Each structure stands twice: as C-alpha cells, then as structure tokens.
C-alpha cells in the first residue's frame, strides 16, 4: 500500500503533525515551519494520533518555562548596578580603595586613565629597551654626550676614528679615551644664547605626572612658562642632563613615563648640549 500523508493539528497552527501510514506502522512527525522532528513509530493509527496529542500537550506545558528561562539568561544588568555590586563585593573582602574606585564615577575615570597611561609607559619602556638592545654601542664626543648608537662595535669605532671621540658598551669604554667630567666642562665654549624647548599642553601634563617619580621632569617643570616655553642657561642645561643621566643609571630607559614622541623630542634637546 503506498504511503498516505494525513496531516492532523493540535493546539493551533504552531503544532503541525504528519502521520505517514504504511503497512503495520504509523510514523508520527512534528513539522512546524522550518523544523522536522520524529516523534515515533506506532502499530495503529489510534496510537499514532494519541502520541501526537501527547507530544503537543507536552510542548504547550514546557514552552512558557523555556521562554521564561531564556529571558532570565539573556537579561543584562545595567552598568551602574554592576559597579555597585562590584564595589560592595570589594568592600566586603576588605579592599576598600578599589571599592571606592567602582563606587565613584569620577574615580573610575581617573583609574581608567592611569591604567591606560601605565600600559603606554610599559609599551614605551619595552620599545626603548628593544631599541637599545639592538644598538648597544654608543659613540660619544666630549661636550656632546651620545652622538650615535650602533649595532656593532666596528661601526661605532669607524665613526669615532673619523670624527673623534670614544665608544662605550654599557658602562665600559671599549674604544678611545673618555675625558673626566671636570675636564669636559672646562673645555666647553660659552653658549651665547640659552637652550630652548617648547612643550605642548599634553607634554606639560606629562611633566606634572612624572614629577616626584623621576628627576628629568623637575627642572623642565620649574622653568616652563605658561605657554610651554623652557629656557635653560648653560649651568641649567648641565644640571638637567645630569638629572636625565641619573634616571638612566643601571641601564634604564631615558625619560621614563614619557610617550615615545615626547621622549624623542627630549632626547634631541638633550643632544644639543655642547
């Protein structure tokens, strides 16, 4: 006997069942739009219809609960509520300072800004350290400080031989003779005009942030005018360069906490010293 499709419905249009009648078996399928689910195979048509009715009844009873659970799972707490709950949890665990950060919107902004600055500082430090590691040989001349950095000792020596000066690797002189600080300062010719640099508003803010943590910002901040202009006398410049050198002792990167472009600008100013 060929198969006969006999659709029957239960509970409205959302429940569509099809019973395929074949010899000695009746296959029941649940077929709403876009779905096909096999309910079971039964001996008689009566059993098949009863199974379809039972399946439809079960679907109606569980559907509202599933919908409710889905809504509960998909619901999201507003950010303000999450921040309050985080603050309460931190306070309960004894972390009162962090709790205060999450409880105060302005404190959260400051915290986020400081974290971004710290991440930028770490990235800058790593980039500077990588650059120094790639060019570890420094070529210097009396009264000028670092004139160039080179990857190999041969390159640095070649420059020192042609231009004069000495080569250092770390704290050790590997070529030429380094004059004493007293002799270097005495040999300097007086500079008729002061050393000048112009700082932007964001660079002035960076100075204030780094003050008290390192030495390099102190004299710049003390001599900076409202428009960002800085003018150093000869003695000021030497003092500032000594401050910069003290921050770099032990192989540390120069101008810590300064953004890359700002650090490069300061390095160029440092190299103006004669």
In 62-155, DSSP assigns E strands to: 137-141, 145-150
Which tokens is 101 given?
């950060």
Residue 11 belongs to a domain: yes
pLDDT for 63: 43
Task: Specify which residues 138 forms β-bridges with.
Answer: 149, 168
First to last CA, the chain: 108
Rounded to whole angstroms, the Cα distance separating 220 from 33 reads 75
Count of residues in the chain: 274
pLDDT for 274: 54
Rounded to whole angstroms, the Cα distance separating 154 from 137 reads 9
Question: Could you tell me if 179 and 113 lie in one domain?
Answer: no
Host domain of residue 258: 189-274
pLDDT for 217: 92
Which tokens is 217 given?
């910002």
Name the residue with tokens 């690797």.
169
Instruction: Give the three-state DSSP class for 136.
Output: coil
Question: Could you tell me if 219 and 271 lie in one domain?
Answer: yes
Backbone angles phi, psi at 67, to 5 degrees: -65, -40
pLDDT for 64: 43
Asked if residues 127 and 259 have their Cβ atoms less than 8 Å apart, the reply is no
Which tokens is 221 given?
């901040």
Residue 74 belongs to a domain: no
pLDDT for 116: 72
Asked if residues 119 and 105 have their Cβ atoms less than 8 Å apart, the reply is no
Question: Could you tell me if 199 and 272 lie in one domain?
Answer: yes
Residue 101 belongs to a domain: yes
For the chain, which residues score pLDDT lower than 50? 1-14, 61-74, 184, 186-187, 191
Residue 247 belongs to a domain: yes
Question: Could you tell me if 62 and 89 lie in one domain?
Answer: no
Question: Could you tell me if 219 and 262 lie in one domain?
Answer: yes
- Residue where a domain terminates, one of 145, 160, 183: 183
Residue 233 belongs to a domain: yes
pLDDT for 2: 38
Instruction: Give the three-state DSSP class for 166.
Output: strand
State the CB neighbour count (10 A cutoff) for residue 174: 14
79's CB contacts (< 8 A; 6+ apart) are none
Separation in Å, CA 55 to CA 12, 33, 215? 14, 17, 79
Residue 75 belongs to a domain: no
Residue 77 belongs to a domain: no
Question: Could you tell me if 174 and 140 lie in one domain?
Answer: yes
Residue 150 belongs to a domain: yes
Asked if residues 21 and 6 have their Cβ atoms less than 8 Å apart, the reply is yes
pLDDT for 266: 92
pLDDT for 125: 67
If one counts the domains in the chain, the total is 4
For the CA atoms of 210, 212, 216, 220, what is the dihedral angle to 10 degrees?
Answer: 80
Name the residue with tokens 């000495």.
166
pLDDT for 11: 40
Question: Could you tell me if 147 and 175 lie in one domain?
Answer: yes
Question: Could you tell me if 51 and 13 lie in one domain?
Answer: yes
């Amino acid at each position: 006997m060929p198969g006969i499709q006999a659709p029957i419905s239960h509970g409205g249009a959302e429940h569509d069942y099809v019973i395929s009648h074949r010899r000695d078996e009746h296959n029941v399928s649940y077929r709403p739009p876009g779905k096909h689910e096999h309910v079971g195979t039964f001996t008689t048509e009566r059993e098949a219809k009863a199974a379809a009715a039972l399946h439809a009844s079960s679907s109606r009873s569980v559907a509202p609960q599933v919908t409710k659970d889905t809504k509960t799972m998909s619901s999201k707490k507003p950010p303000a509520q999450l921040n309050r709950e985080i603050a309460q949890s931190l306070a309960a665990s004894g972390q009162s300072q962090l709790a205060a950060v999450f409880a105060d919107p302005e404190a959260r902004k400051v915290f986020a800004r400081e974290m971004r600055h710290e991440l930028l500082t770490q990235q800058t430090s790593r980039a500077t350290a990588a650059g120094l590691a790639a060019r570890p040989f420094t070529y210097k001349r009396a009264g000028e400080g670092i004139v160039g950095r080179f990857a190999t000792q041969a390159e640095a020596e070649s420059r020192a031989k042609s231009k004069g000066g000495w080569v250092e690797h770390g704290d050790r002189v590997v070529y030429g003779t380094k004059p004493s600080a007293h002799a270097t300062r005495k040999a300097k010719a007086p500079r008729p005009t002061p050393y000048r640099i112009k700082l932007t508003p964001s660079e002035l803010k960076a100075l204030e942030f780094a003050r008290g943590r390192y030495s390099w910002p102190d004299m710049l901040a003390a001599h900076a005018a409202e428009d960002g202009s800085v003018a150093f006398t000869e003695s000021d410049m030497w003092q500032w360069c000594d401050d910069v050198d003290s921050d770099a002792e032990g192989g540390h990167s120069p101008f810590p906490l300064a953004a890359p472009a700002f650090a490069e600008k300061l390095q160029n100013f440092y190299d103006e010293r004669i």
